[in-house]
Each structure stands twice: as structure tokens, then as C-alpha cells.
Amino acid sequence: MQKDIFKNSNNPDYLNGIQINPLSFLDEGIDDVLDTLKNRFHINAIFVCTVSWLGLKIGRSISHEIDGWPDHGKSVPIDLRGGAFFRPNLKYYENTNIKDFYTKDSMFEDIDILKDIIIAAKKRNIRVYIELMEPFFKYEGHGSVQKFDIPNISSCLEIDLYGRTGSMPNTLNPDYRNWIKAIIEDVCKSYEIDGIMWCNERCSPLDQLIQGQVPTDFSKHSIDLAANRNIDYEKVKYAFVNVLTYFKSKKIESDNFIDFIRVILENPEILIWEKLWLENNKNLDKELYGLVKWINNGTEFGLNVWNRNHFSLLRKAQWPWSEVLEYCDWVKPITYQHQGGVIYKKEVSWWTDKVLSKFEKNDVLKMFNKVLNIETSSWDDLYSSGLSSNEYVRQQCLETVKGVSNSIPVYMGIGVDAPGYHASQQKCTPKIVYESVISSYNSGASGVIYSPNYSFMNFHNLDGSVKALKKLKYVK
């Protein structure tokens, strides 16, 4: 039986949420936005981006050149600097050197936008969740701000295999880790929120290798952790250099998959380091869950789970659903169905480019589909066809509900006008949204969260959700 996480006067198992950024409230007015969400779309929970330097999270449409502008809000680009969209209380940041990170965007200078949103939402019986996604910046495809006015952040950056400074912070760095914890403590104690939605989107060192990248993190903090576990860092580094050399080699055209298995077996330190990295990554999630519950056991901690986890052979093995029961109150699997073909094709391409280059791409796709339990069109049509709002969403929901033993709520992350990365990418429609909502509830979901950002969504597409809720008799 599921935990009673969300209560609604009409239906105890009904959550109809949406992800939204503070800029939309300034563009359209707090009262007008909330009235529209509640009265037109029956939204009863909002997930407000609180700290980010990513256009996907804080800006207007980052794909307007491909998708055009939505049918509401302001139809002009905006160059935001990003940061915190709440007022940090410095007393919580004594154990980190990252302190000055309130947004430098002038329109937020004299207000506490999060406080104003919460006050207005509570009057309408709309629950308010804080949305946080790590990494907060320098994230490919998400419209990352390229210049960061964050004192001391450079001292927290990762180190790659060659000793070069990376582009993202090391989650083992105490300043960075304590900063994230301070944010959690601050918002939980300073604001009347209903919960936190935390998203962890990092690729492991082996995953980076498969993607053709030089892996991270080999900073002092990771090396020290390895030493505490009696792991020989020099052997690990030697093993990674061997495998990286393999991936850069052009002498692997014939039996490359067998060669891939062989090179991993000959360098087992790769897997030892991989296990250490994964343990640290999961521990961060667990620590944040425990912190939230220590502050207020009634505050919810939900996991916003990367769609690329179920598009990857490696990540799907790394992140089994059964584990998250230890450190969350509910889960939100991301299923951006109309955008999914582009993302899935990219994931499979990393394998076809090197490890499985011997095989036809359509054959590799069929193999991935079998292993990952996904149905798609042919390789050449993946962009334009996307993934099925019936079968794909249904299957991901069923897998998640089963994976968590139906013991916590599953709120499906329904893509509504997720950004276009290619001109031929399938466009969102009211029918896609309608079918996605129907498929979610019919497969055991306790609710849905429209994503990734209200500011990108067309109202006429989101209307498909209302039609579905009426069909399901959640609303009249």
C-alpha cells in the first residue's frame, strides 16, 4: 500500500503538478499564473526552480528558434545570470566558502520571489515544492550560463584523468557538498514549503569513457577517499589510461565489443573506481534525504529521476529502483516522450560509434530496445517519431511502480513542449499530453508532473491534460 504522501480534498491519490521558474511569475504576474494553473489546468502542486544557472530551468524558451514561442508569457529572449531565487540566510553557510550566490539579475534585486509565490500559492491551496537539479550549471544542451559570478566556485571543480581542471564541481569537495546541504537546510527552515524535489544527473567515469570523454573526478578528495578504502590510486589511473587509449585507438574495427570486454577485464581497477564513485553519488542523495527529515519529518523528499537512466545499459544497472526506497518519499521518472527519440538516439550512438561499430545501427537499436524494454521506430525515424505517449510512458510507469514495490507514490514526469534539439524532432501535441496522462494513471501512477518548464509550454498542448483528467474523472 502506498504511503499517504499527498492529500487532496477530491482524491487522496491525486497530484497534478507542474515545474515552473520564478521568471514566469514576474513575466505574467504571480496571481495570474497561479489562477491560470489552478482554474484552467487543475494544478495543485508547483515545483519551483530555486537555484540554477541553466536556461532550461530559469529562462524563457531555449529552443524558440526551432519551436517558436509558446502561446503565453513574453516572446523575447532573455540573457539571465542565474543563481539563487530565494534569499540565502548567511548563518547556514558557515561551513562552506560559497556564500554570495543570490541572483544578480536586476528584476529580482528588491524582492523575495519565493516567499511571494508561497504566500499566494497557499491562499489557493496549491502545494509548493523546491526543485533542485545537480549539476547546477555547465550542462550541455540546457542553455547553461557561460560566465559565473560565484566567488570560490573554481576551488571546487573536478580534476580529469590528465590532471586538468574540469567544468563541474566535485560532489566530494567539502565546500561544495556543504553548500548543497546549506541550501537544503536554509529553504526548509526559512520557507513554508511542502517538500524538496532533488535531481541528480551525473555520469560515472566509465560512462564518460563510453561517451568519448576524458573521465573525471580525480581530485584530491577522491584520491583521499580511495586511500581510506585501501585503493591504489596509481593503479586506478594506469587502468583508466589503458582504457582511454583503447577508446582512442583506430585498431578496433573487427571484434570491438569483445575487445571492449577484454580491456575492462584486464583493467579491473576501472570497476573498483566506478563502484567508489557510485557509492559517493548515492550517498549525497541519502544525506540530503536525512537532512530534510531531521529538520522536519513531515517535509517530503522526492527524487526527480533522469530519463537518460532508462536509456543507458550502464546507468540502468547503476540505479535500480528498489534502492531509492531507502532515501525518498516518492519518485518522478522523467519521460519526455516527444523529445525522447533524440535523447535515446544520442545514448545509443555512444555505443555504436565505438564499442558496437561493427553492427548495423538498426540492429543495435533493436538490441537496446529488447534489453531496456523500449519500443521505437527505425533508427532513421527516431527524431521525427519520438517515443510513444502510450507504450513508452506506460512501460516506464509500470517498471517504476514495480521497482518501488508500489510502496511509495510514482509521479510521472510528463514532457510538455520539452526543448527541440533538432528541426525534425517530433513536436508536442494535446494528444500526446492526453495519452501520456491516461497511460500514467492506468499504469499505477499516483499523479503527474508536467515538465520541464512552464515557460516553454503551450497552453493548447497542456489542455490535453485537462481532457485526460476529465476522462479519468479526477476533475469535472
Structure confidence by residue, pLDDT tens digits, 89-102: 999 999 999 999 99
CB 353 within 8 A of CB 212: yes
Section 60-87 average pLDDT? 93
Give residue for cell 514526469. 413
338-397 pLDDT, tens per residue? 999 999 999 999 999 888 988 999 999 999 999 999 999 999 999 999 999 999 999 999
Q: Is 60 exceeded by the pLDDT of residue 332? A: yes
Query: How do beta strands 165-169 and 157-159 pair?
Result: antiparallel
| pLDDT tens figures, 130-179 | 999 998 987 676 777 767 778 888 899 999 999 999 988 999 999 999 99
Question: Which helix (H) or strand (E) segment is 228 a member of?
Answer: helix 220-228
pLDDT at 11 over 70: no
Q: What's residue 317's pLDDT?
A: 95
pLDDT at residue 146, rounded to an integer: 66
The domain ranges of the chain are: 15-156+168-202+278-471
Pairing of strands 45-52, 83-84: antiparallel
- Adjacent-strand bridge partners of 413: 334, 449
Using DSSP's 3-state secondary structure scheme, residue 67 falls into helix
Kindly report the pTM of this predicted structure. 0.94
Under 8 Å between Cβ of 408 and 330: yes
Q: Identify the pLDDT of residue 354.
A: 81
Q: What is the CATH number of domain 15-156+168-202+278-471?
A: 3.20.20.80
Residues 6 or more apart from 308 whose CB is under 8 A from it?
Answer: 201, 315, 343, 347
Pair 193, 187: CB distance under 8 Å: yes
In whole angstroms, how far apart are CA 204 and each of 211, 214, 327, 366, 403?
A: 10, 11, 20, 25, 22
The label of the residue with cell 528498489 reads 322
User: Sorting pLDDT into bands at 50, 70 and 90, what band is 1?
Assistant: very low
Cβ neighbour number for residue 378 with a 10 Å cutoff: 11
User: Which secondary structure element, helix H or strand E, spans residue 51, and what is its range?
Assistant: strand 45-52
Listed as own residue / partner, the contacts of 282-289 with beta carbons closer than 8 Å and 24 or more positions apart are 282/323, 284/171, 284/177, 284/180, 284/200, 285/198, 285/200, 285/327, 285/328, 286/326, 286/327, 287/181, 288/180, 288/181, 288/184, 288/196, 288/198, 289/327, 289/328
Looking at the chain, how many residues does it have?
A: 476
**How large is the average pLDDT for residues 54-78?**
92
The Cα–Cα gap between 165 and 161 comes to: 10
Question: How many Cβ atoms are within 10 Å of 208's Cβ, its own excluded?
Answer: 18
**Percentage of the residues of the chain whose pLDDT score is greater than 90:** 83
What is the per-residue pLDDT for 4? 43
Determine the residue type at 33: V
End-to-end CA distance of the chain: 27
